[in-house]
Amino acid sequence: YGTQSINEKGHLTIGGVDTIDLAAQYGTPLFVYDIALFRERAQAFQKTFQNEQVGYQVAYASKAFSGIAIYQVAAQEGLSLDVVSGGELYTAIQSGFPKEKIHFHGNNKSQAEIDMAFDEEIGCIVVDNFYEIELLKKTAERRQQKMNILLRVTPGIEAHTHDYITTGQEDSKFGFDLNNGQADRAFEETYAHGHLELIGLHCHIGSQIFETAAFQKASEKLLLKMATWKQDHSYTCSVLNLGGGFGIRYTEEDAPLEPAVYVKDMIRTVKTASEGAGFPVPEIWIEPGRSLIGDAGTTLYTIGSTKDVPDTRRYAAVDGGMSDNIRPALYGAKYSSLLANRAQEEAGQVYTIAGKCCESGDKLIEEAQLPEVSAGDILAVFCTGAYGYSMASNYNRITRPAVVFAEGGKHQLVIHRESFEDLIKNEEGYMQEGAKR
């Protein structure tokens, strides 16, 4: 993928940087990001919109991997930013991200989070439910301040993906139901409000989607709704936000389309549907997370113990696991790997890559094709850039890994490895005579 290569020492390189040197310098587990690849993906999405001559915003769904450094790269590439919590918003502000390009999501935003969005005068809030409409109205009126809003709707479309990551179907905790009058009610409660500026509709139909049909159906449904509101209320929404969810290739089994293909198809559908409905072609916004950052990330681990279960399998254990990548345990997600220090050796063995957490289910890869491994080998697991670090935990009091950005033969440490001191920094002791540590 991207700028990955193998150098004369037989070592895996990323962004022109030797991964074995990185492992030696920063320790493992270590997330290494191929930043040129992130930039390339960001440009590919945006160029497609430019070529098709439609208004657009490409917002990086930063839940996939959030942090000051990646927010800065996203800003450099002209992306907008999707944040889903006060914490992500705070980080974005600290990174200097252009506030007017920040979109705030979430199905249970607190009053404090909403106030923060108003304080920072961010680009828009994607409104999820009636409770939030009330909070927003009160806040805007109290502050006498305007806020752009989009209404998030669930179109009742099932994209073919894992159960836990489908979000567009009817029985979803997210959004206003498009098919039972909820979306109409949300529209009626907001479009004429003096401070809330309803600019459009949003939907997100799922994640790791490999087909264009679901996006087509969703965009047609949303456009029809927008056309109806125009007819009945003479109100024209200018933005159609179709969310993220474009699939990527974790293993050979995955067959995603090129990012540009999803977008081209989407634009064509929206144009045709707009014409059909006599509706001006809206701005099209998307929110890719995984497809921007997923294959840019690689995790380096050091192999330690091995165990043979005769006639069954061979385990090779690494110095991380579900604490830095919960996806195999949570979703049965599959990954591919390579021995980074002997990248050219024939992969004649099959190993189950186990993590170091106290859980039998802590396996990163069921069947990894590798050369015969020994302690000290460096294992590279690919495509861990999305929902890896961002879903990492301190389970078993394992510290979160460090993160390095590599680009053009240079590298920079952007997130330090957590220390044991970090683990207890918010803690007080407990003794009967008073809190002590």
Is residue 1 within 8 A of residue 375, CB to CB? The reply is no
Least distance from ligand LLP to the Cβ atom of residue 242, Å = 9
Task: Restricting to residues 104-123, name those near ligand LLP by CB under 6 A.
Answer: 105
**The binder of ligand LLP chosen from 18, 88, 177, 287 (CB under 6 A):** 287
**The binder of ligand LLP chosen from 156, 259, 289, 297 (CB under 6 A):** 289
Tell me the CA end-to-end span of the chain in Å, nearest whole number.
49
Q: Would the annotation count 288 as a binding residue?
A: yes
Q: Which stretch binds ligand LLP (CB under 6 A): 192-200, 282-290, 305-313, 397-405?
A: 282-290
Task: Restricting to residues 192-211, name those near ligand LLP by CB under 6 A.
Answer: 204, 207
Q: Which stretch binds ligand LLP (CB under 6 A): 45-53, 281-289, 315-323, 376-384?
A: 281-289
Q: Would the annotation count 310 as a binding residue?
A: no
Q: Which stretch binds ligand LLP (CB under 6 A): 89-97, 142-150, 210-218, 287-295?
A: 287-295
**The binder of ligand LLP chosen from 387, 389, 406, 407 (CB under 6 A):** 387
Pattern 1-40, ligand LLP, x by CB under 6 A: ----------------------------------------
Task: Restricting to residues 329-358, name those near ligand LLP by CB under 6 A.
Answer: 331
Whether residue 358 lies in the annotated active site: yes
Q: Would the annotation count 206 as a binding residue?
A: no
Q: Which stretch binds ligand LLP (CB under 6 A): 12-20, 41-49, 238-246, 258-266?
A: 238-246
From 124, 280, 277, select the one nearest 190 (Cα to Cα).
Answer: 124
**The binder of ligand LLP chosen from 2, 123, 200, 244 (CB under 6 A):** 244
Residue 150: how many CB atoms within 10 A of its CB?
22
Size of the site for ligand LLP (CB under 6 A): 21
Task: Give 227 or 243: the residue with its C-beta nearer to ligand LLP.
Answer: 243
Q: Would the annotation count 434 as a binding residue?
A: no
Q: Would the annotation count 123 as a binding residue?
A: no
Q: What is the 3-state secondary structure (H, E, C) of the chain?
A: CCCCEECCCCCEEECCEEHHHHHHHHCCCEEEEEHHHHHHHHHHHHHHHHHHCCCEEEEEEHHHCCCHHHHHHHHHCCCEEEECCHHHHHHHHHHCCCHHHEEECCCCCCHHHHHHHHHHCCCEEEECCHHHHHHHHHHHHHHCCCEEEEEEEECCCCCCCCHHHCCCCCCCCCCEECCCCHHHHHHHHHCCCCCEEEEEEECCCCCCECCCHHHHHHHHHHHHHHHHHHHHHCCCCCEEECCCCECCCCCCCCCCCCHHHHHHHHHHHHHHHHHHHCCCCCEEEECCCHHHHHHHEEEEEEEEEEEEECCCEEEEEECCCCCCCCHHHHHCCCCCEEEHHHCCCCCCEEEEEECCCCCCCCEEEEEEEECCCCCCCEEEEECCCCCCHHHCCCHHHCCCCEEEEEECCEEEEEECCCCHHHHHCCCCCCECCECCC
**The binder of ligand LLP chosen from 282, 288, 297, 321 (CB under 6 A):** 288
Least distance from ligand LLP to the Cβ atom of residue 296, Å = 13
Q: Would the annotation count 331 as a binding residue?
A: yes
Q: Would the annotation count 256 as a binding residue?
A: no
Q: Which stretch binds ligand LLP (CB under 6 A): 191-199, 242-250, 298-306, 413-421?
A: 242-250
Calpha distance 101→158 (Å, rounded): 29
**The binder of ligand LLP chosen from 39, 290, 342, 411 (CB under 6 A):** 290
Tell me if 167 contacts ligand LLP by CB under 6 A.
yes
Q: Would the annotation count 359 as a binding residue?
A: yes
Marked catalytic residue, from 124, 203, 357, 358 = 358
Give me the active site residues, please.
358
Residue stretches of the annotated binding site: 245, 287-290, 327, 331, 359, 387
Contacting positions for ligand LLP (CB under 6 A):
61, 64, 82, 105, 165, 167, 204, 207, 243-246, 287-291, 327, 331, 386-387
* Binding residue positions for pyridoxal 5'-phosphate: 245, 287-290, 387
